[in-house]
Amino acid sequence: MFRLKIIFGNEFSAHLLETQTTQVLVCCAALNRMTHLSMPQSYKLA
């Protein structure tokens, strides 16, 4: 939650619960994508 709030802010711009839910899902998907892109590629040697 800390990383999500730092990157996207503490408040939602949407007023309705349905649109807030969509906004949170989009933010989570973007955060997961950013995390996935920054992970190193690891592989077994030998």
**pLDDT tens across 1-46, in order?**
788 788 888 887 888 999 999 999 999 999 999 888 888 888 888 7
Tokens of 29: 């998907």
pLDDT value of residue 22: 94
pLDDT value of residue 8: 84
DSSP string covering 6-45 = HHH-SS-S--SHHHHHHHHHHHHHHHHHHHHHHS------
Closest to 6 (Cα-Cα) out of 29, 27, 33, 36: 27
pLDDT value of residue 44: 86
